[in-house]
Chains A and B, each alone.
Chain A
């Protein structure tokens, strides 16, 4: 196995911390991601990554742990989007766009100040594209607690959230407080974006949030099975990305490791491509006795 796993890979503290943080972030992103995809809030999720960027850049400038900035920024952004009207279908794009624009402007300012006021030129790279190998073991408890809170919250609101994602009208008549549930979900979305930001950077965290769930939901009809597959895909891409990035140090003679985020996103894209092909092949094959009339209904939608 030495041709793939460099000696000492798993005894290395930095790598172990990275794998653990990657595992947690991918798990949370996948679980929150299936609901994000179901609700059609991918764009809102992406806007939150921009807010997280501003938060992370601000934290870097202030000398605070980036995770606090990422998560804090995201939660503030979620609140702002809710206030502007992200819950109304018409208001959704507007709210998202306004918050996204404002956040990107702030990021530009913070990143400029970081780059000019200190000797560190790595801020932009670190905030935008992540640096999981720089995560301090002391960050782990924060990551674990935030993840636990997000997962418990999702489990708590899962059914009302599912019903209101399906139809706001149906949920409201069943007595679901649609607005409250939507806002709570936005906050968990913000936190999960912040968590994946420390793995692959804020800009790319959408990939980990949307990619694995979008792949999984293509091929299954059961929601929770889809969520489970998304978790496996997310963790798989993240771990493979970390291992390859670590290995890449030895690939080129100049000994410069390639970024983790590149590999993670590459694996996410490969997974998505693979599942898209599987999905197409399933739809493309002639109607069987089991599927019978379903076939023509499916094709008319595609």
Chain B
């Protein structure tokens, strides 16, 4: 089975096979199959409530699976894997909280360590470097709670990247950002990920902003996923099979539109999915 073996090629850092996840007995995701190669940029695309955050929790080792395997470098997933960085969807920082942006980045180095040791010069230099890498020099000494959404996002990315993970997960980092800030974050993320040779798995409900940087896509709908390159996945036959009814894929002005037929049931789905347009 040479084709099977190629899936376990050494460049793969994450491998998910036939995975099923349930919350309180209700199946959220089933038959999930995908892989992430080293330094690849992968978009996890799906509407709100499709199970993207649940999938992240599984990869982070914070939620058990019902069936299937999730392996990191060919090994079963360990709880608390420091090689995986995470930027949660929404962190509500209290503006009254006396913690500077640089302190949050510093906690990315030693926030899990017990005891109070002085941070070495090398670590302090690393913090400065990371702040510069995410263009956060200008607000490094301001309270995190006082920063804008885009600025907080950049600090959180620096917090996650400073521990030098091999895989960075970002849960809906573009939600609540205006289009300009979203483009900025994507560009920055792509640059920083390439510089640091870190693979990115980024969830979003809209794939268009990610098209220029995305190596692969994991498309979630109906509790199942389709994965591959954008050209392999964003096709009428693949997405129709995933949604369970016919959809068309239109490419207009460099944008991709997934278009569903307009039965009652589809209307409901359409309203949940910004990428889907009624024919």
CA of A172 to CA of B62 in the docked complex: distance in angstroms? 8
Name the CB-closest residue of B to A155.
B116
Q: Quick one: CB contact mask for A77-103 with B, threshold 8 Å, 1 for yes?
A: 000000000000000000000000000
Binding-face segment, B107-115, B224-232, B236-244, B259-267: B107-115
Interface residues of A in 188-211 (CB under 8 A from B): none
A297 touches B114 (CB 8 A): no
Note all chain B residues with C-beta closer than 8 A to A20: none
Q: Kindly specify which of A46-54, A129-137, A216-224, A242-250 makes contact with the partner chain.
A: A216-224
Contact A160 B98 (CB under 8 A): no
* B95 / chain A contacts, CB cutoff of 8 Å: 298, 301
Chain A residue at minimal CB-CB distance from B147: A297
The secondary-structure label for the interface of chain B is loop
| Bitwise interface map of B from 104 to 125 toward A, beta carbon under 8 Å scored 1, else 0 | 1001101111111000000000
How many B residues touch the partner, as a band? 35 or more
Q: Which of B104, B112, B159 contacts A160 (CB 8 A)?
A: B112
Of the stretches A118-126, A138-146, A161-169, A254-262, the one at the interface is A161-169
From DSSP, what is the main secondary structure of chain A's interface residues?
helix
Q: How far is the CB of B1 from chain A (nearest CB, A)?
A: 35
**B88 interface hit (Cβ, 8 Å):** yes
Give how many A residues have a beta carbon under 8 Å from the other chain's beta carbons: 31
With a cutoff of 8 Å between Cβ atoms, the chain B residues found around residue A226 in the complex are 98
Ordered by A's residue number, 30 sampled pairs between the chains whose C-beta atoms are within 8 Å are A38-B97, A38-B98, A155-B116, A159-B110, A159-B111, A159-B114, A160-B112, A162-B111, A163-B112, A166-B104, A167-B88, A169-B91, A173-B86, A174-B108, A174-B111, A174-B112, A175-B80, A175-B82, A175-B112, A217-B98, A220-B98, A221-B99, A221-B100, A221-B141, A221-B143, A226-B98, A294-B146, A298-B95, A301-B95, A301-B146
Interface residues of B (CB under 8 A from A): 60, 62, 80, 82, 84, 86, 88, 91, 93-100, 103-104, 107-108, 110-116, 139, 141-143, 145-148, 159, 163
